[in-house]
């Protein structure tokens, strides 16, 4: 039996024509709880309580990110936790002193926002800011995003700078891409792509396709490579027509053949795995750049030091989102200039979240972006 908490404080009610519509919130909810290495369980947990300056989001859609999967597979984080940070939904409650949002607002939420004042923020290296490293959204337990649950508590510093209001004509699915698009924009900015340059994007999962699309929008010639031909078919729908089937062709040799023997001006490695760093560098022309985008786990990697010194190749990294690109990423996604919903291949209700995580961690040839949708079970929307 579900117990319901009736919100009667005017700060979490909606004033309509002189009457007050109260928001009923259950005291418990379902969530996909991380309990250990490759151990995630669907459990009933308390709905998180909010404090002054905070809001509570009823989750509609949350995309599954590769970083979530790595944390689950490696046991890099303490337990228990509730992951999920590509979150879009509806404001269910607001705390005292929240003036910019109302119950019923459609929003997406960033889970990291920097302080804006520290050494790293002054140097615009926001992901290294101590405040940025603190996660500001939780469904309970240690804050870890919380989007794989029915409700998420959004903390005050995120409410101030990290919540985006959504137009009524933009779906929650489309909006859930704002955070990953921001991370890709940051990577393209770090790479410093110029119009007319040739860029190789290694990996054509959802992130690789977004990176390739953004590179093309900058005026670059984009070549893509992937082991799965089906992904190239999807990439072509986004205008990425110059493809290398890495299952049958030597990517490094093919790129050189396509660039008069030089190699690409820039290579983006959008596939996890340190073993591909050396081929990425080999595919880059002397004086070119390599961007490591998916290498989020520390570990040994083999590189050719002479490629950096003698061949003057630059090895770059980009991690997480940039607050400086927040408005631009939201504008691109919400304008629907790029129809990102087409990247979603599988949608699971929260009840199917364990299956969703397994599919995302072990993709088949036809799977792309996998999302968990607690909102698919809403009966009152």
What pLDDT is stored for residue 300 in this prediction? 81
| Strand 151-154 with 55-63, pairing | antiparallel
Closest among 226, 204, 229, 231 to 215, alpha carbons compared: 204
Enter the DSSP assignment of 10: G
Q: Which CATH superfamily is domain 181-317 in?
A: NAD(P)-binding Rossmann-like Domain (3.40.50.720)
CA angle 39, 79, 133 (to 5 degrees): 120
255's CB contacts (< 8 A; 6+ apart) are 200, 223, 225, 244, 263, 264, 283
Give span(s): CATH 3.90.180.10, the chain: 4-170+336-377
Block mean pLDDT (10 aa), the chain, length 381: 34 33 79 98 98 97 96 95 98 96 97 97 96 97 98 98 97 98 98 96 98 98 97 97 97 98 98 92 98 87 92 97 97 97 98 98 95 86 51
For the whole prediction, is pTM greater than 0.85?
Answer: yes
The reported pLDDT for the residue numbered 301 is 82
| Architecture label for domain 4-170+336-377 | Alpha-Beta Complex (3.90)
Rounded distance, CA 301 to CA 200, Å? Answer: 20
- The full 3-state SS of 277-310, as one line of letters, equals HHHHHHCEEEEEEEEECCCCCCCCCCCCHHHHHC
- The answer for residues whose C-beta is within 8 angstroms of residue 221's C-beta and 6 or more apart is 196, 197, 198, 199, 242
Where exactly does CATH 3.40.50.720 map onto the chain? Answer: 181-317
């Amino acid at each position: 039996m579900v117990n319901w908490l009736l919100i009667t404080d005017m700060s979490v009610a909606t004033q309509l024509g002189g009457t007050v519509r109260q928001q009923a919130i259950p005291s418990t909810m379902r969530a996909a709880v991380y309990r250990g290495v490759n151990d995630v369980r669907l459990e009933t947990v308390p709905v998180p309580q909010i404090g002054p300056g905070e809001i509570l989001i009823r989750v509609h859609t949350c995309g599954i990110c590769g970083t979530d999967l790595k944390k689950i597979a490696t046991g890099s984080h303490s337990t228990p936790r509730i992951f999920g940070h590509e979150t879009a939904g509806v404001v269910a409650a607001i705390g005292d002193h929240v003036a910019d949002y109302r119950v019923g607002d459609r929003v997406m939420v960033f889970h990291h926002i920097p302080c804006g004042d520290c050494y790293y923020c002054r140097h615009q290296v926001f992901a290294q800011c101590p405040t940025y490293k603190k996660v500001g959204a939780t469904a309970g337990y240690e804050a870890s995003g919380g989007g794989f649950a029915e409700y998420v508590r959004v903390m005050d510093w995120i409410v101030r700078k990290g919540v985006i209001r959504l137009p009524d004509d933009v779906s929650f699915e489309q909006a859930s891409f704002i955070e990953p698009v921001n991370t890709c924009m940051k990577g393209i900015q770090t790479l410093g792509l110029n119009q007319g340059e040739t860029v190789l994007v290694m990996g054509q999962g959802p992130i690789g396709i977004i990176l390739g699309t953004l590179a093309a929008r900058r005026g670059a010639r984009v070549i893509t490579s992937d082991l799965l031909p089906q992904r190239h078919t999807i990439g072509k729908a986004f205008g990425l027509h110059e493809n290398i089937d890495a299952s049958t062709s030597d990517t490094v040799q093919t790129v050189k053949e396509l660039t008069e023997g030089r190699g690409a001006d820039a290579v983006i490695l959008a596939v996890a795995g340190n073993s591909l760093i050396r081929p990425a560098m080999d595919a880059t022309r002397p004086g070119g750049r390599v961007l490591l985008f998916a290498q989020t786990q520390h570990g040994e990697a083999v590189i050719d030091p002479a490629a950096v010194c003698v061949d003057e190749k630059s090895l770059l990294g980009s991690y997480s989102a940039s607050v400086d690109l927040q408005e631009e990423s939201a504008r691109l996604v919400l304008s629907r200039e790029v129809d990102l919903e087409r990247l979603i291949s599988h949608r699971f209700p929260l009840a199917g979240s364990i299956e969703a995580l397994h599919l995302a961690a072990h993709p088949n040839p036809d799977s792309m972006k996998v999302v968990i949708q607690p909102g698919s079970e809403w009966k009152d929307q």
